[in-house]
Copies of this chain bind each other. A is one copy, B any other.
Amino acid sequence: MEVFDVVCTALAIRKYKDDPIPQDTIHRIVEAARLTGNSENAQPWHFIVVEDRDTLKKLGSLVRSGPYISQAPLAVVVVIKETKYAESDASRAIQSMILTAWAEGVGSNWTGFYGLERVNALLDIPEDLQVLAVVPFGYPNQPTGKGRKRRKSLTEVAYREKFGQPFE
């Protein structure tokens, strides 16, 4: 699938089939994160691949916005060293993962946003690093919307040459 079509159709997926995700797909998801462009090539990130059912259940109970992690066959825990650019860089890496997964039919959704010190304890993550997000992945067990998204219109968010001048 072309990148543009992937961006246009990728939806937040919160219900997953039980099917495991092939290891080569997991490998590409993690590689997409690792290879993402980032500020000054500092790569202030770590990615923990979780497939253990018991750990996924615990993550689902620890991440308030992501109880459905417990049903996913996979989650990637995204850890940063807090620097000026780390949140932005890691957000780009997460977007690379989400798009790479969607191109292979795998849905996901960003859950959590800092405040996840108990995940540090669960996964032996050093205290000087922050868990930015937990991203569950799985084959969608919900309608995938045929690419329709609720978004503000182009008129509301895009302009030409100056703020407020219509793009179209």
Main DSSP-derived SS at the A contact region: mixed
A64 CB within 8 Å of chain B: no
Given A4-B28, A88-B87, A113-B85, answer yes or no on A95-B36 (Cβ-Cβ < 8 Å): yes
Give which listed residue, B2, B12, B100, contacts A1 with CB less than 8 A.
Answer: B2
- Is B45 a contact partner of A96 (Cβ separation < 8 A)? no
A152 CB within 8 Å of chain B: yes
Query: Which 9 A-B residue pairs are closest in the complex by CB-CB distance?
Result: A91-B91, A92-B95, A3-B103, A88-B91, A95-B95, A125-B163, A7-B32, A124-B162, A124-B163
Known contacts A4-B103, A41-B150, A87-B91; can you find 18 more A-B pairs with CB under 8 A? A1-B3, A2-B103, A3-B100, A7-B35, A30-B167, A34-B151, A34-B152, A36-B95, A47-B158, A48-B160, A49-B160, A50-B160, A51-B161, A88-B91, A88-B113, A95-B95, A123-B162, A123-B163
